[in-house]
Amino acid sequence: MLAAVLSEGLKNKISITDYHNEVSDSFFGVDVSGLAKSLSQSDLRDLSYFARSEFISRGIPFETVSLSPEVARDYGLGSRLADFPLTASSIL
């Protein structure tokens, strides 16, 4: 979901290079490569609005994906992400 918001909202060919999933107050972050420039606070607000208007408010259903640590590693995810729920409230 986050990759879709970033690639559609920024119109750049980006790659997510690292996940930071220590969820605090419903926020989490990623490291992104391929940005044309650093994002300003205004850019981040625009992305948040875009995510809400184009993804969240459309009522797209989200599911929890549970992976064993071994399968998560096969997909390049750290085992700490193996039980991370993908819900609208955890996205923004």
The two three-digit tokens of residue 54, written as one number: 């184009």
Q: Is 21 helix (H, G, I), strand (E, B) or coil?
A: strand
If one compares 51 and 63, the residue with the highest pLDDT of the two is 51
78 vs 58, residue with greater confidence: 58
Nearest Cα to Cα of residue 46 among 11, 10, 81, 85: 10
Token pair for residue 29?
């972050």
Locate the domains of the chain by residue range.
2-91
3-state secondary structure of 61: coil
7-61: per-residue pLDDT in tens?
Answer: 788 776 777 777 766 656 666 677 888 888 888 898 888 888 888 888 778 877 7
Mean pLDDT of 77-84: 48
Backbone angles phi, psi at 20, to 5 degrees: -125, 95
pLDDT at residue 85 above 70? Answer: no
pLDDT (0 to 100) of residue 83: 40
